[in-house]
Structure 1
Amino acid sequence: MSVDSKVKESPQSNILPAATKDADQAKFSSLALDDRLLSAVEKLGWQYPTLIQSKGIPLALAGRDLLARARTGSGKTATYALPIINRILLEKQTDGNSKRSVRALLLVPTKELCEQVHKQVRELTLYCSKLVAVTAVSSTVEVEEQKAALLQASDILIGTPTRILAHINAKNVDVKSVHSVVVDEADLLFSFGYENDVRTLLAHLTVGYQSYLMSATMTKDVEALREIVQTNPAILRLNESHLPEDSRLAQHIIRCEDKEKYLILYSMLIFKLINGKILLFVNSITEVYRLKLFLDHFSIKACVLNSELPHNSRQHIVQEFNKGVYDIIIASDENSALADEDDSDDEEDLTTLRGTQAVASEEKSNVMEGKKKRKRKNNQKDGEYGVTRGVDFNDVNWVVNVDFPVHSNAYIHRVGRTARAGKAGNAISFVTQPEHREVLAKIEKKLKIHNHETSQKESVLRPYAFSMTKIKGLKYRVDAAITTLTRGAIKQARLREIRTEILNSQKLKDYFAENPRDYQVLRHNDVLDTKKVNLGLKHIPSYLMPSKVAILQEKEALYAGSAPAGGEFSHARNLKSKHSAHKRKYKKAGDKKRPSSDPLKSFSVGGNKKAKK
């Protein structure tokens, strides 16, 4: 992994280089952190800091504002959490005052990210939890219910800008002592409609706080946010690929008609060409339930994840997936579909950051004018839902873009769910529409900027060698299943999911205890709407199996090692060997003369020989 080695000065900021991988061998003990933090880091099994941690933590400890771009999973959370906790411990030790007051605000765009950041910060304060209290104010709980917890005072407060501002307005929290402000996933904050809340919240703070802007991409939204939050920050940009290198992440595309993608997906699942833990991404909630109903027809077990589900249910689904209860999640990425995107390269965005104050101000006004016109759609959905970032999926083997992403950043964040923590992963995207070509070109351009394993002429997203003729025998099954995916069926599926959530809701237990009739009605309707699954479609008869059970054409692979990681070829070979053994068995049995069971062939004109005598 390479890094930017150039240092440039501008009136607004200093562009600082990141350490190279070879130089990044110093352990956490060399970063001048409190011993209690080093013990927590050791317990987490972290031996060496990541690239962004090795450069960002010393800058933060020195009191610098930090604007950092690094991909998802690069260790950005610890980059700001460790210096903040260290500063709080140092202040309490120096002042001799252990009284708690809010000293740091951690602003995040989604509930899922709020829970994830809270979990990691709690792990880092394991050996100093009595001195440093951490509280997450997720919008899953009403403001009044969180008031009691906030009265005990916390040193670090984590939440979305809207929820923290609600507590400030309700006077549940005092922010006069705040000295550190973090904006995590800064490029999402304005896209999720938090601009006014951020401005109002910052107006309550004392001038002079240290700020951290952490982002996976550098966009005009980040530039506008930087103008509001920071002055003369250290801009740290790792010169690395947006996604892991090719040796760890195999990225493929399948060009086909829209009506063919369900057939291909079904074939890949049923023949185990994609296996392990799988994330299937679509662009809308309707498509989530459409795909879920389709897979149910063939008894392929999957769960759904979308903004209509309550936050606790979404957290439970992710936990079940991580435990291995489910191997397939169908997730909607509707927020990415609705959000605008600046698809300019990071190089161009950094040029904007280095520009003059006049240019920056002009761009900022243009951005603000555009943001005022953007409004949230569909109020029934959870505006703080985000699955492509802020959800901690463990050991994902495959990411499948059943619906192609609407912009390049959405692709990067989706595919970034796999090949994490040094593990290998795979991604496949269905390209079905002419307009996908433009987005595909932007993805290629963005991924090639820092990918030194791929030449500029070589494609990052390689074609997935797939033979449609091999699976034509399965087409009638898939077509029959698709005909059942009517609007009414999809609506019933959504209602069934909501009804299940109501029946399992802890908040409604008291209501159902007082109104058992309502509970019985809901249960009765649930029985009437039970899905009918044809168990006969779960298995494929031998006469429908591909002739050589080789869906992927190894001999026609477009490049060396075209088989994605995961060993799908070995599965095809096993099926082929079983098929050959089956033929040999019957061929050998056919060599022996067996008595004919046809009564016409065994009929004798002479009748019974004993009768003749």
Structure 2
Amino acid sequence: MEDSAEDKKDEKSLNFHQMELDDRILKAIAKLGWMRPTMIQEKAIPLILEKKDVLIRARTGSGKTASFSIPIIQKILNSKESAKEQTTTALILAPSKELCQQSRKVIEGLTIKCSKIIRCIDLTAKGDPTTQKHSLAQRPDIVISTPARILSHLVQKNIDIKESLETMVIDEADLMFSFGFENDLKNVLDYMPAAYQSILASATLSDEVMDLKKIVLHNPVVLKLEEPELPPITQLSHYHLPAEENDKAAILYTLFKLHLIKGKSIIFVNTVDKGYKLKLFLWQFKIRSCVLNSELPAKIRIHTVHQFNQGLYDIIIASDERSLLKPGEQLTKSSKTVKTKVKKGQDSESGVARGIDFRCVSNVINFDFPLDINSYIHRAGRTARGNNSGNVLSFVSLSENDLMNLVEEHLLASYPGEEMIMKKHQFKLEEVEPFRYRAQDGWRAITKNAVKEARLREIKAEMYNSEKLKTFFENNPHDLQVLRHDKPINVVKVPEHLAEVPEYIIPAPLRNMVGIVTKKRKHQQSVSKTKLKYQQKADNPLAVAEIDYAKKQKKF
């Protein structure tokens, strides 16, 4: 008989230090800056520490990864006190390489004070089978993998978990089947011990998750917390802006150039080609951005997100490819997960809009409106993560109004009592007129051949950087700037005058705004620096004497 988390919702809230966690974990949590547990962490950690099977259902960005990582680390530290030998006690399965990388980084952050005691390996991070075999032979405490990778090692007997495994986690369980891991996952279960603790973590309770629950969990506690799919509207604001295809580029250029969008931003488009066209368009105005492309190897995608998280650039363009289904397939409020075919050249274990750990994102911009409700939810979930706030701005054409209305109906059902969720962005479109001719010329300049050439050049460059220069950059870390993903691709001629904004086209209220550098202001700054230089010389008696002497010698 199942327990329910809803019976416990009246209990007094717990903080991390009240969960009987090891001091080393508490110090790591403090270093990560987590002031208090999220709702799902508060409920899940004590239950997992009690060794109960748990089904965790919580929205994207709610802290699910830490909710199972913290108790796993605590249990390993407890067992180390009496363990006679090194064994693998925890297995974390995820449907994509990016999700595996995310879990590994969370665990690394939580074990920073006990890294010499707890060993963790991510099988998707290293491609060399010999290296992985050697690492597995050392019996790491935690193994992170996709089902296909771990199954391969289990079949080859590179790892044996039949006796030692105590905990298994299936992260983003609702995506396991849609990523094609159904058979692999069931085969992995044949290598599991007779008794072990199981944890399923998922953003939705789809039919596939319920099927997994029957196979994997035994008398589980179902943590189906009463919370919306997205953060409250006090934390996450939703805006829409009417715009046809010809206007979207001009509006986006204006918003960025006039600094009306502040903070780190993710721009979502519906195709990879559109992503590269948008990157080339923005670069004409010296607005740096990078494209998250699933055709590139996983290491490069992870490196791209890592640089974005580090703050090397503030704009990333992503194509939400896994939601590109026929519009009718996921427009209802409850829809089954649909398997999607992987295009040739794409990584079958790649996920873009879902599951990648983007940090401190202030804005999500839907340049192309998502094709279904689930896609909108997952795109919006990239911002306002944890206790941070964020904004979602969607450009909506007339043909996309029906899609927007469906999303609005779904959001209203999630936020009872609200009359309107998606507010119209208070932006005066007439202010775009002076920018429009520049934007239209720039957008037309980017042809299909230019986009194709840009994609080919980036793939070739990244292949060369990844393989040929790997050793060099390990020995010369300062030269890693060569690998920046927001560099110009140089397939479109960029006029120099587009980098600055002429003062006459800036709306009057914004002309004195800090950060907007115009041609006129740039010239004035140059003149001011020259005057200051000579003023400093004039104030110096020795400098004055040198100037007088130079005048006499007619050298000045």
**Shorter-chain TM-score: which interval?**
0.7 to 0.9
2: CA distance between counterparts of 1:391 and 1:87? Answer: 27
Q: CA RMSD of the aligned region, Å? A: 3.3
Using the TM superposition, name which of 397-406 and 130-139 deviates more.
Answer: 130-139
Name the residue aligned to 1:523: none
Residue 226 (str. 1) matches residue 186 (str. 2) = no
Structure 1 residues 528 and 22: alpha-carbon distance in aligned structure 2, compared to 1, 3 A threshold: closer
Name the residue aligned to 1:298: 285
Name the residue aligned to 1:210: 197
2: CA distance between counterparts of 1:43 and 1:298? Answer: 39
Structure 1 residues 100 and 442: alpha-carbon distance in aligned structure 2, compared to 1, 3 A threshold: farther
Structure 1 residues 422 and 290: alpha-carbon distance in aligned structure 2, compared to 1, 3 A threshold: same
1: CA distance between counterparts of 2:211 and 2:218? Answer: 12
Which of 365, 373, 378 is 1:408 aligned to? 373
2: CA distance between counterparts of 1:339 and 1:328? Answer: 29
Structure 1 residues 305 and 211: alpha-carbon distance in aligned structure 2, compared to 1, 3 A threshold: same
Residue 125 (str. 1) matches residue 90 (str. 2) = no
How big is the shift at 1:472?
2.2
Using the TM superposition, name which of 217-226 and 249-258 deviates more.
Answer: 217-226
How big is the shift at 1:292?
0.9
Residue 451 (str. 1) matches residue 398 (str. 2) = no
Name the residue aligned to 2:553: none
Which of 21, 28, 40 is 1:33 aligned to? 21
Per-residue CA shift, 1:347-395, capped at 9, x if unaligned? x79xxxxxxxxxxxxxxxxx7xx97xx4532131112222333333232
2:322–2:340 CA contact under 8 A, matched in 1: no
Name the residue aligned to 1:561: none
1:18–1:51 CA contact under 8 A, matched in 2: no
Q: How does 1:60-459 map to 2 (within 5 A)?
A: 60-93=48-81, 96-138=82-124, 140-176=126-162, 177-338=164-325, 374=339, 376-432=341-397, 434=399, 436-451=400-415, 455-456=417-418, 458-459=419-420
Name the residue aligned to 1:587: none
Using the TM superposition, name which of 141-150 and 280-289 deviates more.
Answer: 141-150
2:454–2:491 CA contact under 8 A, matched in 1: no
How big is the shift at 1:492?
0.5
2: CA distance between counterparts of 1:195 and 1:528? Answer: 40
Per-residue CA shift, 1:209-229, capped at 9, x if unaligned? 211111122222322222332
Name the residue aligned to 1:565: none
2:266–2:318 CA contact under 8 A, matched in 1: yes
SS of residue in 1 equivalent to 2:200: strand
- Normalised by the length of structure 1, the TM-score is 0.75
1: CA distance between counterparts of 2:512 and 2:87? Answer: 59
2: CA distance between counterparts of 1:223 and 1:175? Answer: 25
SS of residue in 2 equivalent to 1:505: helix
2: CA distance between counterparts of 1:297 and 1:223? Answer: 50
SS of residue in 2 equivalent to 1:426: strand
How big is the shift at 1:439?
3.6
How big is the shift at 1:291?
0.7
1:240–1:451 CA contact under 8 A, matched in 2: no
SS of residue in 1 equivalent to 2:324: helix
Residue 48 (str. 1) matches residue 12 (str. 2) = no
2: CA distance between counterparts of 1:232 and 1:480? Answer: 63
Per-residue CA shift, 1:6-65, capped at 9, x if unaligned? xxxxx6x333227659931x3223223344433433443444322112211222122221
Per-residue CA shift, 1:311-365, capped at 9, x if unaligned? 22223322322333212111122123259976665xx79xxxxxxxxxxxxxxxx
How big is the shift at 1:123?
2.6
Structure 1 residues 473 and 82: alpha-carbon distance in aligned structure 2, compared to 1, 3 A threshold: closer
Structure 1 residues 304 and 140: alpha-carbon distance in aligned structure 2, compared to 1, 3 A threshold: farther
How big is the shift at 1:536?
1.3
How big is the shift at 1:444?
2.6
Name the residue aligned to 1:495: 456
2: CA distance between counterparts of 1:172 and 1:507? Answer: 30
Structure 1 residues 15 and 326: alpha-carbon distance in aligned structure 2, compared to 1, 3 A threshold: same
Using the TM superposition, name which of 471-480 and 279-288 deviates more.
Answer: 471-480
2: CA distance between counterparts of 1:295 and 1:449? Answer: 37
| Counterpart amino acid of residue 32 in structure 2 | L
Structure 1 residues 377 and 39: alpha-carbon distance in aligned structure 2, compared to 1, 3 A threshold: closer
How big is the shift at 1:413?
1.8
2: CA distance between counterparts of 1:433 and 1:247? Answer: 28
Which of 5, 15, 20 is 1:16 aligned to? 5
How many pairs does the alignment contain?
A: 505
How big is the shift at 1:506?
3.1
Per-residue CA shift, 1:424-473, capped at 9, x if unaligned? 22110112253x44443443343334435xx34x1111111333333223
How big is the shift at 1:491?
0.4
| Counterpart amino acid of residue 64 in structure 1 | K
How big is the shift at 1:81?
1.6
1: CA distance between counterparts of 2:105 and 2:280? Answer: 34
1:219–1:342 CA contact under 8 A, matched in 2: no
How big is the shift at 1:193?
1.5
Which of 533, 538, 543 is 2:499 aligned to? 538
Using the TM superposition, name which of 156-165 and 436-445 deviates more.
Answer: 436-445
Gaps of 5+ in 1: 1-10, 350-366, 512-525, 551-568, 583-613
2: CA distance between counterparts of 1:62 and 1:198? Answer: 26
Per-residue CA shift, 1:238-274, capped at 9, x if unaligned? 2122222222222101122222211211121122211
How big is the shift at 1:527?
12
SS of residue in 2 equivalent to 1:253: strand
SS of residue in 1 equivalent to 2:266: strand
| Counterpart amino acid of residue 86 in structure 2 | R
| Counterpart amino acid of residue 51 in structure 1 | M
2:435–2:505 CA contact under 8 A, matched in 1: yes
2: CA distance between counterparts of 1:222 and 1:380? Answer: 29
How big is the shift at 1:187?
1.8
1: CA distance between counterparts of 2:121 and 2:326? Answer: 29
2: CA distance between counterparts of 1:333 and 1:191? Answer: 15
SS of residue in 1 equivalent to 2:223: strand
How big is the shift at 1:500?
1.5
Structure 1 residues 288 and 508: alpha-carbon distance in aligned structure 2, compared to 1, 3 A threshold: same
Structure 1 residues 126 and 21: alpha-carbon distance in aligned structure 2, compared to 1, 3 A threshold: farther
Counting aligned pairs with the same residue, the percent is 41
Structure 1 residues 444 and 432: alpha-carbon distance in aligned structure 2, compared to 1, 3 A threshold: same
SS of residue in 2 equivalent to 1:17: helix
1: CA distance between counterparts of 2:513 and 2:11? Answer: 39
1:72–1:413 CA contact under 8 A, matched in 2: yes
Gaps of 5+ in 2: 473-486, 525-556
2: CA distance between counterparts of 1:437 and 1:201? Answer: 45
Name the residue aligned to 2:437: 476
2: CA distance between counterparts of 1:98 and 1:533? Answer: 66
1:549–1:572 CA contact under 8 A, matched in 2: no
| Counterpart amino acid of residue 437 in structure 2 | Y
Structure 1 residues 197 and 427: alpha-carbon distance in aligned structure 2, compared to 1, 3 A threshold: same
